[in-house]
Amino acid sequence: MQGTQIRPARSDDDERIRCFLAGLSLHTRTLRFFTGFSRPAASLVRALLAVDERRDVLVATLDGEIIGHAMSYRGAAADVEIAVVVTDRWQGHGLGPRLVGALLLRAARRGATTVGMDVMGDNRRALSLVRRLWPDATMRVVSGTVEVTAMIDRTALFAEQRSAASPLTV
Ligand SMILES: CC(C)(COP(=O)(O)OP(=O)(O)OC[C@H]1O[C@@H](n2cnc3c(N)ncnc32)[C@H](O)[C@@H]1OP(=O)(O)O)[C@@H](O)C(=O)NCCC(=O)NCCS
């Protein structure tokens, strides 16, 4: 994880996001987007970078390249719905939880108290992450998708931020 940074997405990240999406395996794309596309559409690139009062986006970078992406948007079942993806080579190194933690910290600062995430039923890695981050989460299975809802642990997030050793540009 040395050299990785987490920062807000910028409008000039479009080419970096395109490369990031193009580099994801079909499996990872399917787990994140629930569909496997061959070439990332311009509309998807725009959607992944759109930030406003309802949507927030963070990217993880290494040597200027994007290796992870996490977004939140105002939800219906929860205050914020989130989605996260880490490039294949970097999965299993703790980047996903770092992105989620940074995203939820920003959401909590804006008043969010609950989080939601949709996960494919056979996505063991994401479900493992969910169980670790939110042991008391409610999980509802709807047509093969697990709809996760959990309370945001604001105390833990703020404490983690104070003790964070790595540079987080959030
Ligand atoms: C889900 C995801 C974001 C987790 O991020 P991450 O940085 O890999 O998270 P972690 O490093 O904490 O790993 C999560 C778990 O998966 C396991 N794992 C991750 N990558 C692995 C790999 N390549 N091989 C085997 N196990 C792996 C980890 O050991 C860990 O399991 P544990 O909780 O039992 O220890 C990431 O795997 C990913 O991008 N998946 C595809 C997109 C997706 O599923 N998004 C979620 C729905 S929006």
According to DSSP, residue 91 is labeled T
Q: What spacing in Å lies between the alpha carbon of 14 and ligand 1's midpoint?
A: 25
Is the per-residue pLDDT at 169 higher than 50?
A: no
Mean local confidence (pLDDT), 121-149: 95
Sign of torsion over alpha carbons 52, 169, 62, 162: negative
Query: What pLDDT, on the 0 to 100 scale, is given for residue 170?
Result: 46
In contact, 89 and 101? CB cutoff 8 Å: no
Looking at ligand 1, which atom is closest to the CA of residue 119? 47
- Count Cα atoms within 13 angstroms, Cβ side, for 142: 7
99 band by pLDDT with thresholds 50, 70 and 90: very high
Domain spanning 4-163: CATH 3.40.980.10: no
Atom nearest to 95 CA in ligand 1: 7
Query: Hey, is 24 helix, strand or coil?
Result: coil
Mean pLDDT for 130-148 is: 95
Average pLDDT over residues 59-88: 96
Question: Is the Cβ–Cβ distance between 13 and 59 less than 8 Å?
Answer: yes
Closest Cα to atom 27 of ligand 1: 92
Residue that has been written with the tokens 């990217």 in this structure? 59
pTM: 0.92
11 alpha carbon to ligand 1 midpoint, in Å?
Answer: 27
How much is the pLDDT for 159? 83
Domain ranges of the chain: 4-163
> Ligand 1: does its nearest atom lie under 6 Å from the Cβ of 30?
no
Q: What is the pLDDT of residue 164?
A: 65
The atom of ligand 1 lying closest to the CA of 117 is 48
Residue 55, classified by CB atoms within 10 Å of its CB into exposed (0-12), middle (13-18) or buried (19+), is: middle
